[in-house]
């Protein structure tokens, strides 16, 4: 995936030292530093991390794995070896040696817990849980010894059912304001919505959602219409609304709740 290999990794693939020397001479491999080699397709951020003597970690590694990382972490995040000084990411617990070019997920998350805001850390953990089909307890076990008390408490706010970063942000922000937020509640027309506060359905569209085909667009609007007939109005939030116009969104939700329109009147 990263295109960077240690000598032991190459040997395990059946590439012996003579092959390594030949490939370096022919340009098929580039020696980054002693015992570390890059293929032509190696990711530049991984090469940079190894050249600095560390491993790609934290937000950078989590992005590489394909998890959703909120904007605001543009630099290359590198975990250094034991005793390293300078601008390296650090994790909770005893120092781990650098054996791979990219840190495992658990180690990258431990670094992220110290580097990211609390809100952003919850977003990334939700993405890991949903993508890997893990429970919070699964992840807690995988991160044994890598979580401090603060990060462990944040795991209690995570939810593997969250299907997008904007959904996680909306849930976390509304709960922080004291709202009882349902996750993946059933829709009157079938299927599930992202979130709900009382009768108010909240759909949080990611950037990818806006690229969906016309059929999906039609299904979304049909669900909104059927839900309204069942007295379940829908707030459909775009990526930009959640990321850049949250104060406006919150103002509208609070206005809806103040009018007492979110309560179920069926009983």
For residues 198 and 216, which has the higher predicted lDDT (pLDDT)? Answer: 198
Segment 130-143 shows an average pLDDT of 98
The pLDDT tens digits of the residues spanning 253-264 come to 999 998 765 455
Closest of 26, 22, 56, 50 to residue 38, by C-alpha: 50
Three-state secondary structure call for residue 202: strand
Q: Is it the case that residue 237 has pLDDT exceeding 60?
A: yes
DSSP code for 33: E
What SS3 state is found at 86? coil
210 versus 224: which is more confidently predicted? 224
Domains of the chain, earliest start first: 1-42 (no CATH), 43-155 (no CATH), 165-258 (3.40.960)
Q: Is 99 exposed, middle or buried (0-12, 13-18, 19+ CB in 10 A)?
A: exposed
* pTM recorded for the entire structure: 0.89
CB atoms within 10 A of CB 232: 22
Provide, for the chain, the percentages of residues in helix, strand and coil under a 3-state DSSP scheme, each rounded to the nearest 5. 45, 10, 40
């Amino acid at each position: 995936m990263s295109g960077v290999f240690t000598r032991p990794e190459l040997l395990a693939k059946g590439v012996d030292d003579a092959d390594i020397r030949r490939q370096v001479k022919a340009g098929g491999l580039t020696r980054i530093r002693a015992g570390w080699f890059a293929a032509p397709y190696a990711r530049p951020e991984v090469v940079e991390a190894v050249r600095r003597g560390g491993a790609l970690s934290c937000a950078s590694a989590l992005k590489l794995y394909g998890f959703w990382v909120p904007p605001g972490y543009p630099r290359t995040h590198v975990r250094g070896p034991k005793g390293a000084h300078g601008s390296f990411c650090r994790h909770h617990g005893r120092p781990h040696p650098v054996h791979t070019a990219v840190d495992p997920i658990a180690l990258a998350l431990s670094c992220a817990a110290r580097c990211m805001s609390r809100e952003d850390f919850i977003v990334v953990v939700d993405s890991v849980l949903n993508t890997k089909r893990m429970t919070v307890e699964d992840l807690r076990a995988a991160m044994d010894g890598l979580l401090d008390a603060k990060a462990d408490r944040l795991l209690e706010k995570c939810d593997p059912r969250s299907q997008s970063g904007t959904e996680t942000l909306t849930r976390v922000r509304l709960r922080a304001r004291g709202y009882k937020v349902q996750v993946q509640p059933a829709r009157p027309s079938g299927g599930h919505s992202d979130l709900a506060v009382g009768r108010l359905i909240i759909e949080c569209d990611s950037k990818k959602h806006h690229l969906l085909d016309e059929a999906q667009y039609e299904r979304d609007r049909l669900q909104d219409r059927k839900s309204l007939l069942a007295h379940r109005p829908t707030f459909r939030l775009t990526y930009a609304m959640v990321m850049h116009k949250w104060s406006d969104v919150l103002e509208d939700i609070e206005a809806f709740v103040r009018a007492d329109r979110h309560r179920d009147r069926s009983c």
